[in-house]
Amino acid sequence: MSWSRRRILVAGLVGALLAIALTVIALNFVQPERRIQRQVEHRYATDDPRFRHELSTLLGPPIIEGNRVANFENGEQIFPAMLAAIRGARHSINFETYIYWSGDIGREFAEALSERARAKVPVHVLVDWVGSQKMDEVLIHRMTQAGVRIERYHPLHWYHLVRMNNRTHRKLLVVDGKIGFTGGVGIADQWQGNAQDEEHWRDSHYRIEGPAVAQMQAAFMDNWIKATGRVLRGEAYFPPLTRVGDAAGQVFTSSPTGGADSMLLMYLLAFSSAVKTIDLSASYFVPDELTLRVLGDALKRGVRVRIIVPGEDIDTEIVRKASRASWGELLAEGAQIFEYQPTMFHCKTLIVDGLLVSVGSTNIDTRSFRLNDEANLNVYDTAFARELTEVFERDLKRTRQITLESWRNRPLTEKIVENAAAALSSQL
């Protein structure tokens, strides 16, 4: 074969490989096909039994009575509660999280999980491949040696490049099939303390006991099966669960491969049901056009809408800029938007009409609604909603309100940068 012909063949092969690589990358950044395209209108109030029935039907798992839910604020309360549950495990521990980094709290969790594994308690840990990049391999080795079964979700392989954008953002801990935790915290030292300075983040996490814990266990199993192909069964994971409290609860999931619109639909239905108040704590608030319209409709109905977002102290500045670009319409319609000042604000809490509370891993952005695997806990209980409203009010005292006038008068350079960031919102 002549040299010139070999060069043509090599160039053709390189071109083909480059085309394949570009196609894979492009597929990664194409949003899943949008299915919800029309306005979600107000039909039932939050306290209407028909609304609760509709949410159960559309989201899948039923709303179950008889649960008890506890709220924990910041690492100072959250980590001791989670570690106490782990150390008290007798039958099983299933733990899924997006962020697991090295550091003091990472080592403490690894030691607690390892101790239970050495005591012959089955321990399964699922961490996201991207979110665990700062996790010391020594921790993984120690847990594995102790008998912990640890897996990484969607590790990067050349033959799986098209799913590199699909991460598990779920934050679930289920102990003995009877105690569940979810919320916003990751396993990293930033979540330690009490949000006392810029090095310690503000966040919330929640413990649930009662029949709805089985739904949280099923949410973990969903991704464990995807990662390993193995099913965990039996009373160690799904014991009989009896009534322990008065709260109605529902744990549901969303992912690009199953129920991609479930989380977005839940938020749209919740916003559309409001007749009095919507209080939203959102660590990443980059709403799409449909979400803005549904919130705008609530404002036109006379609903008070208050939103707390991070201030200048944020871990992803481009998200803050993209968020601010979308505020004009909401502010003009009467929404109240506040930026948290002391430290990074990582809470993800929705309270509607002093009755419906939704907490979990979900952010108000396209990544959570379309690209990530997420899990939320819905609670229908006036006492719990009242408790979280008091937390919301305390957080408000540490914010700076953004008025329509101040938003309109921000420097032109800020407007340009924010609008440029908003153009990338599908990946934020």
Contact 346, 202 (CB under 8 A): yes
Distances (CA, A) of 364 to 85, 209, 220, 244, 426: 30, 27, 22, 32, 12
Active site residue 176: yes
CA distance 280 to 323: 14
Element holding 77 (H helix, E strand) = helix 74-87
Active site residue 346: yes
Q: Exposed, middle or buried, 82 (CB in 10 Å: 0-12/13-18/19+)? A: buried
101: CB partners within 8 A, 6+ apart: 132, 134, 135, 186, 187, 188, 189
Any idea which residue has 């801990």 for tokens? 173
Neighbours of 120 (CB within 10 A): 8
> Catalytic: which of 297, 353, 373, 381?
353
Q: Which residues are paired to 248 by β-bridges?
A: 380
Can you say whether the dihedral through the CA atoms of 312, 318, 320, 321 is positive or negative?
positive
CA distance 61 to 249: 10
Which residue, among 251, 217, 219, has the nearest Cα to 234 in the 3D structure? 217
> Catalytic: which of 42, 124, 169, 226?
169
Any idea which residue has 């056009």 for tokens? 289
Q: Exposed, middle or buried, 70 (CB in 10 Å: 0-12/13-18/19+)? A: middle
> Catalytic: which of 346, 373, 381, 395?
346
> Catalytic: which of 171, 200, 205, 321?
171
Active site residue 203: no
Cα dihedral value 69, 70, 73, 76, nearest 10: -130
The residue ranges of DSSP E strands in 107-226, in sequence order, are 123-128, 149-153, 172-175, 179-183, 204-209
Any idea which residue has 């000042």 for tokens? 341
Active site residue 171: yes
> Catalytic: which of 154, 288, 348, 381?
348
57: CB partners within 8 A, 6+ apart: none
- Pairing status of strand 356-360 against strand 348-352: antiparallel
Phi, psi (degrees; rounded to nearest 5) at 132: -105, 20
Contact 238, 252 (CB under 8 A): no
> Catalytic: which of 42, 154, 176, 288?
176
What positions carry a catalytic annotation?
A: 169, 171, 176, 346, 348, 353
